[in-house]
Amino acid sequence: MIIKKATLKDKENLVKTVEELIEEDKNLDHFSPHYKDPKYYEEQYIKNEKYDVITLEEKQTITGYIIGKKKTNNIYTIEMHYVIPRKRGQGIAKKLKKALEEHARNQGFKLITSYASIDNHASIKLNEHTNYKQETIGNYVYFKKEL
């Protein structure tokens, strides 16, 4: 198992994982159309210096990723995370979240934030298990943790 910051060399493996997200989302339609375009991930996240893509790779397959964004000088935010369905429940999301926290801390950030829709029970549970404070406002739950 390898956890690392993605580079353009990882693009093909990351696209395969994004394609699984797209397939899973076909009937759910949680994501805007641009999130269903693998090229968007390359242009928006991998090539953009404001973002960090941390991946977990097993046997040359990316089984999950988490994307962080440099929001301000002190605040880092989690843009999104995903674990392929057959690998869920194995602690991958938790490992990715911890790796991103460490990455943000090493860059000097003091606070990490994220949010989820109120019906995203898996994300809410993950944030509870990783000691994030939470606040519900309307249809969203907002999370924060000091680094």
pLDDT at res. 126: 94
CB atoms closer than 10 angstroms to residue 91? 12
Q: How many domains does the chain have?
A: 1
Structural domain boundaries enclosing 84? 2-146
The model's pTM is 0.84
Structure confidence by residue, pLDDT tens digits, 22-43: 666 655 555 666 666 667 777 7
Would you say residue 97 has pLDDT above 80? yes
CB atoms closer than 10 angstroms to residue 19? 12
Q: What are phi and psi of 95, to 5 degrees?
A: -65, -40
Per DSSP (E only), the strands in 12-50 are none
CATH of the domain at 48: 3.40.630.30
**Structure-token pair, residue 141:** 């739950």
Mean per-residue pLDDT of the chain = 86
Assign residue 54 a region (left: φ > 0; alpha: ψ between -120 and 50; beta: otherwise). beta
Residue of 36, 89, 83 whose CA lies nearest to 63: 83
